[in-house]
Structure formats: structure tokens, C-alpha cells
A and B are shown apart, each in its own frame.
Chain A
Amino acid sequence: EVQLLETGGDLVQPGGSLRLSCTASGFTFSTYTMTWVRQAPGKGLEWVSTIRGGGIGTYSADSVKGRFTISRDNSKNTLYLQMNRLRAEDTAVYYCAREMAVAGAFDYWGQGNLVTVSS
């Protein structure tokens, strides 16, 4: 059974840093492209960042470029999102998601992890 478990969400002050983790199981993690998607309270889905299976090839939304870094450790079946210089508008539930091979769609999602940026 495919499972994605996000951890690391917390309350952090503006300007602070946080690292989210997403531990995967039930599939060959290294062969899949993985993505972070966030959802601000009461709002829609917003793509954050994507990383290819081998870790070569990352893409990020303009809203987080230069502040957030996506990475992965295939030996630990874990996806990361390092978030620096956090802003109030980064407050959201962050989901990790697996991209289907060749389809460009996300077939499995984690349960979500809340990040709150507030003083």
C-alpha cells in the first residue's frame, strides 16, 4: 500500500525556517517524481515545488523561489522541503504528492502538515 507521511509542520515566526519531511512507503520511491502542494486556510491548491526521481531536475513556483528548496534522500525514501525566510502568506497545509509516471497527475497524497507563520 502506498503511503506518504508528512512531518515537520509547526508554528514559526516570520523570517524563520522550517524543514518538512515526507516519508514514503509501498513503492519504489527513487523512480518517482515527487511534488509539494500547499493549501492556505479556506483557499485552493497551490503548487510549490517538484523534484525528479533521481534528484536531478527541480522546479519551483515563483512565490517560493530563492526561499524554499526541495530535495530527496532516496536511500531513506524521504522527500524534503526546506523553507527559509518564511512569510505570513506561507501559512498553509503542505501536502507531498507522487506523480504518476508519464501522466503528469498526482495519484497519491499525504495527509497534509500545517505550517503557521505568525508572530
Chain B
Amino acid sequence: SYELTQPPSVAVSPGQTASFTCSGDNLGDKYACWYQQKPGQSPVLVIYQDTKRPSGIPERFSGSNSGNTATLTISGTQAMDEADYYCQAWDSSTVIFGGGTKLTVL
């Protein structure tokens, strides 16, 4: 079965760039999207179709997808960005989520 792999944690200082990777076989051939989830809250879509931001998502969030890896980047990370981040894709009528990466803003 298809799997998406994410590192368990990322830590950055405020103002730095945070990068999250999501790896899967030929993931670049699929659309990847990303969700932010803060403790006790529902997930929020931050990137869809690899690179697009939904309305209301700050420009500091960006995405890319090529080869076997999709990447979410937060430029100028803020304390409010501290959360879990999940990647997601479809594979043969099945929704696949990555295991999630916890972002700590030091």
C-alpha cells in the first residue's frame, strides 16, 4: 500500500525558514496538499494542488512537489505557526496521510 513519510519533528527560531518534507513513491505524479493542526483544533488546509494557498492562508506558506518529495515551506516562521503539519495525497481512490511533523518554534 502507498505510504507518505514525514520526519517527526522540526524546530526553528522565529523569523527563520521551516521546511517540511513528505516522501512517497513518485509523489510528484500526484497532487500533494498540507494541513496545519494546532492542539485541540481541527486541521486547516494550508496548501493544495502542490503549490496553491487557500484564501486566508498567509503568503509565507508555500509548497512544491517533484520526484518523490513534496515540501512545505514557511518563510519567516512565527510563534503562531507552532503546530503539527500533515501531508496528504490520493492513491487509487484511497486517501493517504503522512504521519505528521511537529513544528516547534524555539
Contacts and interface: CB of A to CB of B under 8 A. Distances in A.
Interface of A: 35, 37, 44-47, 50, 59, 61-62, 95, 100, 103-107, 109-112
B42 A100 contact: no
A104 B99 contact: no
Contact of A100 (B48, B89, B97): B48
Nearest to B6: A44
B94 A110 contact: no
Contacts of B98: 44
Given A100-B48, A104-B33, A105-B88, A45 B42 contact: no
Given A44-B86, A45-B86, A59-B93, A107 B100 contact: no
Nearest to A102: B49
B61 interface: no
Given A45-B97, A47-B97, A105-B45, 15 more contacts: A44-B98, A45-B86, A45-B100, A50-B95, A62-B1, A103-B49, A104-B33, A104-B89, A105-B33, A105-B48, A105-B88, A106-B88, A107-B45, A109-B42, A112-B42
Contacts of A103: 31, 33, 48-49, 52
Contact of B54 (A35, A44, A107, A110): A107
A18 B37 CA distance: 26
Interface string B29-65: 0010101010000111100110010100000000000
Contacts of A62: 1
B94 A59 contact: yes
